[in-house]
Structure 1
Amino acid sequence: MKVVVGGRTGTGKGVRRGGDVRKSYATPCVGGQTTTPRRLLLGAVAARRSSRSTVGVVGSGQRGCRCRSVASEGLGNIPRATQLELEVAGAKGDAAKVVVETGEIGRQAAGAVTVTSGETVVYCTACAEGEPDAFEEGGSTDGQQGGMVPLTVVYSERFSAAGRTAGGYLKRDGRPKDPDVLVSRLVDRPIRPMFQKNWQRDTQVTSWLLSYDGETKPEPLAITAAGVALAISDIPLSAPVAGVRVGMVDGEMVVNPTTSQMAEATLDLLVAGTEEGVLMIEGSADLVASEVVLEAVDVGHKAIRGMCKSISEWAEKVGKPKREVSKVKVDHDSIIATILSEREDELRAALSVPKKQERAEKLTQLKESLRQAYCEGENPLVASLKHYNAVFKQLMSDVVRQMVVQDGVRIDGRGLDDVRPITSRAHVLPRTHGSALFTRGETQAMAVVTLGDEKSAQKMDNVQSTSDNDMKRFYLQYFFPPSSVGETGRVGAPGRRELGHGELAERALSAVIPSLEDFPYTMRVESTITESNGSSSMASVCGGTLALRDAGVPLTTNVAGVAMGLILNQEDGSYVILSDILGNEDALGDMDFKVAGDAENISAVQMDIKVEGITVEIMREALSKAQQARAHILGEMEKCSPPPRNEVSDHAPTIHTIDVDPQFLGMIIGSGGKNVKQLISDFGLTTINCNVDGKPEGTIEIMGTGRAKVLACASHIESMCRVPKEGDVYSQAPVVEILPFGCLVELGPSRQALCHISELANQRIDKVEDVVKEGELLDVKVIEVADGGNKVRVSARHLLPDFVPGKPREGMEGRAGGGGRRGNDRGGGGGRGDGRRRGGNNRDRDRR
């Protein structure tokens, strides 16, 4: 750890306006009390000196001179900048050092820091209300379970951080974008369980990305900045928190890898924790083994331990004294013991009802009964309704823990490793491109897939976008209506939870999405939760897999997801892992560990806990049981009835890609897109894209409903770009013009060829119209190409059944003549009669 305390002794300059100096300032010196200058005259070099201050004055005509002064008393104390250099184990280059600074910016916040790595800077503040909540004064049973910590975390990325301006009409940065909300959740989850018991004051942690170098990712910096800001503030946090990103690049674990390195990574994992344990992990992978994920967690936590140790030592030197949390005035342990001794059987019976709504109704009735018994009367056991609510929640938690640990039985009667019953069916909606309904117990997801071209891709317009055309061709949108839990509520823009769950399910499925070359569609998955009792995001993964299969998307493998839970005894460290947890088990337990992947490997993970850290050993067991649960779920998904179609729907657009010589693009597009628009109209297509992102020039993407129309258009475009070669055969070429000496046939748009009268039939003919008329279709063969393909001669008789190469046409045997065809000469009528008509005299005639 390296601590640097620095100050600044700056100078101010006089600003000349019309020859006069309007103002002259001097920045204060480090450590001194501020003073006030008696007078600064404008224009003249004059000052009234006093024993309290020394002022250097710039007069008229003294361009560029500097003032020398201590600051006035009214300007406040000088900012003192204190730095901490954190060494990040396992990181390389600029990422190996993270610089934390406080004391200069945001001095009125309870805690304010800037965190810098490379040229990426995150500014974070932490503030809390001054007066304690009445609930805090009375105490709760547990900081995280007795009452929710009133914590708000907001993270925002400024476009100016990357030297950009927001798009659209309004150039001001607006509300946090979806990626900002996702980072806010990443910051919230590891710091929330670290607040001390009974803390119930409104607390806000705000972060801004102020500078972004395009290589150093800001998410781990935002987590660390929040942990440091709280550590040096007066807000009581149990221990400092830090975060890192771990990527597996070329088989090696790299801490805080750059954006360039992550482009080749097979694992992307964010890890947050304290010196003692891991608090949060979230990431995605290209289907890697559980041991690889655990190795990444171990590497990340090793770096975090060193960072947290340095932060803790630094906070003792520069941090503020912590506020005292009000002491518990109510003996909750004795209250809970009393109620359990008298009513435990009723609690067990209510919590053992298998169905969610019936169980909720029983618990509501029991809660009211207990309230009347213990909160009313002359000497109530619990005087405050708010305290009673906390006590009742703790009662439920204690009973559930006893049932699991002592009896090995869960709320709905399942064993610890049992997965709820699963049913699924595909093609549930007739006009969608793909759909599936996945049901696991009382959690149900309706997944719908929509296929499109690149115009349907999701544009990524945020600070970290690599370009203005940064697009996602696969994305999942998660909807959680209040009706899914039998409630009423707001319906509209997605909330933070919906964005987070959708992002997790999207990452889980991204690992098995085919490449653009194998499947030239964009894919949008909508997952609507129609019923929820825990693990709805993992149901979205399962339903999404089936719906994608139903849409004909060739996934590399099927994936499924499951949520694992934890009951932890913090006194002796014993624990129990639960598979496929219910909503109540999530709320009353200590961990929500979501794992998605195929039967063997992992594509996405997300872990949240309510205790102050867990060990890698606990995660290892949870991942092992999650693998068993996924294998079971995938087996049940194979029983889907009706099964997915595994082919593109007739209602989905057909996308066909062809490659043409780039020199023909102008001809295909036409002036102002005239030709391409005509093709779309003629063939009834949706789009023709002649500039496909990520494809070489000359790639054309044709999209429309109806495979026959798309293929017909593709054939037409190919014919437009086809360069005739001698021996090529053109079927059904239209006759566009009749000439005295032959006819013109169309080989393709803007390309015609001459079929001479002598090449129309195997016998001599007098008139072209005797054989063919304008508008008729001819099968012709190219017999001559000249002038780089601009002059083409074709023959119809070469394709006739009785054509014999070298044999004269019928009626022409024994005729001699001169002026045969030489090169491109169309003459050659000589040799007839007395020979007075020599070759070349009639260029429009040939030997008959």
Structure 2
Amino acid sequence: MEDSTLDLFLAGTDNAILMIEGYCDFLPEEKLLEAVQVGQGAVREICSAVKALVMKCGKPKMLDAIRLPPPELYRLVEKIAGDELHNVLQIKSKIPRRKAISLLEEKVINRLTDKGYISIEGLSGSGETIQDLIDEEDEDEEIVVDGEVDEGDVHIKPGSRKSTPLFTEVDVKLVFKEVSSKILRRRIVEGGKRSDGRSPEDIRPITSSCGLLPRAHGSALFTRGETQSLAVVTLGDKQMAQKLDNLANVEEFKRFYLQYSFPPSSVGEVGRMGAPSRREIGHGTLAERALEPILPTEDAFPYTIRVESTITESNGSSSMASVCGGCLALQDAGVPLKCSIAGIAMGLVLDTHEFGGDGTPLILSDITGAEDASGDMDFKVAGNEDGITAFQMDIKVEGITLPVMREALLQARDGRRRILAEMMKCSPPPAKSLSKYAPLIHIMKVAPEKVNMIIGSGGKKVKSIIEETGVEAIDTQDDGIVKITAKDLSSLEKSKSIISSLTMVPTVGDIYRNCEIKSIVPYGVFVEIAPGREGLCHISELTSDWLAKAEDAFKVGERVDVKLTEVNDKGQLRLSRRALLPVPETSPEDPSSKQLTGNPDVVVIADSGKASDEGAPQKYVSVPKAEGLAEEKIDRAKVKSSATKVATSSKSNSAETTLLPRKKVFKRVKKSVSKAVTGVSSNDGE
């Protein structure tokens, strides 16, 4: 399943489909239909096995236990509601229409109550007639006329023996709803117009805007008809990923999750807000799985992404509005999406013969809440112009066939294309760049064996870097990946510099200038050769003379020049200051050479052609002087400005010590020539 492009759940009978739900990676409609057909074949085999089991062990169905409203009640409700119900169902706005329907329903109940068709509270739900109740009285009880009642007798006043049917209020409401649905369906089939005046293929007006909440990392308000979603995106680091509980003893995290909220105010009601309901969890999962295929990989976008969709108004298809709003909000947050997607809910009137049609199923695009309740199908489909990413279908009939599903999928594709075109008109459009309030995440790659140097003993080093630089988090992985999360660029750059210094690979013989003494211990001093990188200069390597205590000659904060003499297996550095001090004997060589190296046979080459900043450590590399090596003085300004080869001549027996830029190569000259021209190249080996 990890490599599959389709995850499909299917339920049905031996000849029809009852429910499907699934998620895929931009799967074309025809491929999805092929998968459903294969699944239906498997369902048919299971149904055959179930039928065989029923024939062998089944019991008769308890049809007598099913109680339906009497047919007479349908006639009474239609007679009382009459044409008024037809007019009410033509109101386009949801709230006024719902209020009018509620008032009409109350009117029908009151009228039936006045006529004695609705039972009193004590008889509610019995469905019996008055005559039935009289016949069930105790036969020993005597019915007497007025004035002849003795103590202990039961007096029932003689009345009409006419049998009047009694209905419960629940029955009346159920029948009123069914009558309303039939009238609504008949209007769509006969007149070709829905309650809001649209044709079956039309989509409600769409408006959208981004950047509505400037402090959020990304936001979008998507409105389709009377359904509206406010989507907000929040970006975070790996520590904000959602941890999942599982039966295996393995940690599992989700870097993308969508939370769907449906407050009572979205439908004009007042109610308690508590934990997410089952409906909210299901709708949120559908929208989340629909958006997941368009997200970038973690390597390309190392953020944890949270989308919150709050439904501010609802009249059908709020989960698909969350898909559209979530897509726009992700773009506004600067998430590099693969493409844009949209969602649409499809409806169905299956049996059109009943309402004067030709029997062809009628597919409805972008259904409202009333059409969802009165129709035969709710089919949600999300994707782009060419493929599907998520779908969910439930029906209220015995099942639909593959041809009906094919027609619904193709009509849904046309609807998605129109919705995507409207989303392109979003005003203001998505920012498509990271918000200044979003955290900055930088990924570094270091040698895996250097990770422990960043963490330190018990995490002390990484904690000190976080405190010193002000970054939010530093996450390290065993493969050498280091992720730095910061609120601003300055703290991010500072932490990068420290980590780079900690993980650099120093070379024995390198010289570091103007380095600060960080601490003094009885056996020497610790010198910081780079930000966050310290080495030990033993007390015997501090001076040429014998020194009893390091603090007698040095102080914390003092700056010294040191040379790297050893790197042990643990990566610890051993430094020497004495190696850079001049030798006690007077040498005829250039004093600058002795001051740099203490060795007249060594030429010191600077690490960079640029002059080092005052107060910052400077690095030098010592190179042994070879016999017959021509030396020369280089004009640094000319080398930097012209970036051309520099040629100069010098005598072969010159003993002058020269400070040269790194990566300069000297060519040997023949001893027989008194003068030689030496070429200087910026490429090694030339």
TM-score, normalized by length of structure 2? 0.70
* Structure 2 residue 64 is matched with structure 1 residue 325: yes
1:746 aligns with 2:529: yes
**In the alignment, is the contact (CA less than 8 A) between 2:441 and 2:485 conserved in 1?**
yes
For 2:63, the aligned partner's letter is: E
What corresponds to 2:236 in structure 1? 452
Q: Within the alignment, does 1:628 sit opposite 2:376 as a pair?
A: no
Question: Which of 679, 682, 699 is 2:465 aligned to?
Answer: 679
2:615 to 776, 790, 804: 776
Aligned-pair CA distance for 1:468: 2.3
**Alignment-mate amino acid for residue 97 of structure 2:** R
CA shift, 1:766, in A, is 10
Q: For residue 720 of structure 1, report the CA deviation from its aligned partner.
A: 2.1
Query: Which amino acid in structure 2 is aligned with residue 476 of structure 1?
Result: L
Task: Tell me the residue number matched to 1:520.
Answer: 302
- Residue 452 of structure 1 and its aligned partner are, at CA, apart by 1.2
CA contact (8 A) 1:779 1:799 kept: no
Identity level (%): 45
> Is the alpha carbon distance of 1:650 and 1:328 closer, same or farther for their aligned partners in structure 2, counting shifts above 3 Å?
closer
Residue 264 of structure 1 corresponds to 3
Deviation (angstroms), 1:451: 1.0
Map of 2:106 onto structure 1: 368
How many Å separate the matches in 2 of 1:417 and 1:618?
15
CA contact (8 A) 1:726 1:784 kept: no
SS at match of 1:511: helix
Change (3 A) 1:773 1:522: closer
Deviation at 1:699, TM superposition (A): 0.8
Alpha carbons 1:735, 1:773 under 8 Å: kept = no
Equivalent residue number for residue 655 of structure 1: 441
Q: CA deviation at 1:698?
A: 0.8
**Superimposed CA distance per residue, residues 81-125 of structure 1 (whole angstroms, 9 cap, x where no aligned partner):** xxxxxxxxxxxxxxxxxxxxxxxxxxxxxxxxxxxxxxxxxxxxx
Q: Distance in 2 between matches of 1:600 and 1:707?
A: 40
SS at match of 1:525: strand
SS in 2 for 1:515: coil
**Inter-CA distance 765–488: structure 2 relative to 1 (3 Å threshold):** same
Equivalent AA in structure 2 for residue 437 of structure 1: L
CA contact (8 A) 1:726 1:783 kept: no
State whether structure 2 residue 231 is matched by structure 1 residue 392.
no
What is the aligned counterpart of 1:735 among 515, 518, 523? 515
In 2: Cα distance, 1:560 partner to 1:529 partner: 16
Aligned equivalent of 2:284: 502
1:590 and 1:611 in contact (8 A); partners too? yes
User: What's the CA shift string for 1:353-411, capped at 9, x where partnerless?
Assistant: 11111001111121122223344315678732121111100111001110111111111
Q: Distance in 1 between matches of 2:514 and 2:268?
A: 67
Q: Which residue of 2 aligns with 1:482?
A: 264
What's the RMSD between the two structures over aligned residues?
3.4
Pick aligned residue for 1:711 from 485, 489, 493:
493
Distance 1:717 1:630 in 2: 49
Q: Which residue in 2 is equivalent to 1:407?
A: 191
Given candidates 33, 58, 63, the residue that maps to 1:294 is 33
CA contact (8 A) 2:352 2:362 kept: no
**Could you tell me how far apart the structure 1 residues matched to 2:395 and 2:335 are?**
36
Q: Aligned equivalents of 2:462 and 2:66: distance in 1?
A: 77
1:516-548 per-position Cα deviation (integer Å, ceiling 9, x unaligned): 111011111111111111111001101110111
Residue 48 of structure 2 corresponds to residue 312 of structure 1 = no
In structure 1, what residue type is equivalent to 2:109? R
Instruction: Give the letter for the 1:591 counterpart.
Output: M
Residue 596 (structure 1) shift: 0.3
Q: Distance in 1 between matches of 2:194 and 2:504?
A: 71
**Closer, same or farther in 2 for the Cα pair 1:745/1:734, shift >3 Å?**
farther
| Alignment check: 8 A CA contact 1:562 1:596 kept | yes
Secondary structure, aligned partner of 1:280:
strand
Matched, 1:356 2:142: no
- In the other structure, the counterpart of 2:342 is 560
Report the Cα distance in structure 1 between the residues aligned to 2:423 and 2:220, rounded to whole angstroms. Answer: 11
Aligned partners of 2:225 and 2:446: how far apart in 1?
Answer: 54
The residue number in structure 1 matching 2:219 is 435
| Cα distance in 2, alignment partners of residues 473 and 729 from structure 1 | 46
Moved more, 444-453 or 493-502: 444-453
Map of 1:723 onto structure 2: 505
Q: Is the 8 A contact 1:668 1:675 kept in 2?
A: yes
Is the 1:736–1:775 Cα contact (8 Å) retained in structure 2?
no
Select the structure with the greater relative contact order (CA < 8 A; seq sep ≥ 6): 2
2:20 counterpart of 1:281: yes
Which letter maps to 1:280?
A: M
C-alpha spacing 1:365/1:379, structure 2 compared with 1 (3 Å): closer
Q: 1:51 corresponds to which residue?
A: none
Deviates more, 1:776-785 or 1:597-606: 776-785
Matched with 2:543 is none
- 8 Å CA contact 1:480–1:498 kept in 2: the answer is yes
Shift of 1:716: 2.6
Q: What is the CA distance between 1:277 and its match in structure 2?
A: 0.9
Tell me which residue corresponds to 2:553. none
CA distance in 2, matches of 1:625, 1:318: 45
Alpha-carbon separation, structure 2, partners of 1:603 and 1:774 = 57
Q: TM-score w.r.t. structure 1 length?
A: 0.57
Any idea what SS the aligned residue of 2:63 has? coil
Deviation at 1:618, TM superposition (A): 1.0
Tell me whether 1:491 sits opposite 2:273 in the alignment: yes
Query: Size of the alignment, in residue pairs?
Result: 522
Q: Matched residues in 1 for 2:109 and 2:181: separation?
A: 17
SS at match of 2:294: coil
Which of structures 1 and 2 has the bigger CA Rg?
2
Asked whether the equivalents of residues 577 and 622 of structure 1 are also in contact (C-alpha less than 8 Å), the reply is yes
Q: How far has the Cα of 1:777 moved from its partner?
A: 2.0
Between the aligned partners of 1:319 and 1:304, the Cα distance in structure 2 is: 20
Q: Which SS does the other structure have where 2:346 is aligned?
A: strand
**Structure 1 residues 777, 277: CA separation in 2 closer, same or farther (over 3 Å shift)?**
same
How many angstroms apart in 2 are the aligned matches of 1:329 and 1:718?
A: 78
Do 1:735 and 1:775's aligned partners in 2 also have CA atoms closer than 8 Å? no
CA gap of 1:378–1:778, structure 2 versus 1, over 3 A, is closer
The alignment partner of 2:114 has SS state of coil
What does 1:6-155 correspond to in 2, within 5 Å? none
Match of 2:388 among 602, 626, 629: 602
2: distance between equivalents of 1:422 and 1:558? Answer: 16
SS at 2:442's partner residue?
A: strand
Report the Cα distance in structure 2 between the residues aligned to 1:315 and 1:798, rounded to whole angstroms.
100
- The equivalent of 1:638 in structure 2 is 424
Indicate whether 1:590 and 2:429 are aligned.
no
CA pair 675-627 structure 1, distance change in 2 beyond 3 A: same
Residue 159 of structure 2 corresponds to residue 421 of structure 1: no
SS at structure 2 position matched to 1:777: coil
Secondary structure (helix, strand or coil) at the match of 1:428 reads coil
Which whole-Å CA distance do the structure 2 matches of 1:413 and 1:570 have between them? 19
CA distance in 2 between partners of 1:351 and 1:729 (Å): 89
Cα distance change, pair 570–315 in 1 and its aligned pair in 2 (3 A):
farther
Asked whether the equivalents of residues 656 and 711 of structure 1 are also in contact (C-alpha less than 8 Å), the reply is no
Please state how far the C-alpha of 1:298 moved relative to its aligned partner: 0.8
Q: Is the 8 A contact 1:446 1:527 kept in 2?
A: yes
Give the match's secondary structure for 2:64.
coil
Residue 736 of structure 1 contacts residue 774 of structure 1 at CA under 8 Å; is this kept in 2? no
Seen in structure 2, the aligned counterparts of structure 1 residues 542 and 798 have a Cα distance that, compared at 3 Å, is: farther
Distance 1:800 1:648, change over 3 A: same
Give structure 2 stretches of 5+ with no counterpart.
Answer: 119-164, 519-525, 536-561, 564-576, 583-589, 597-610, 625-632, 640-645, 658-686
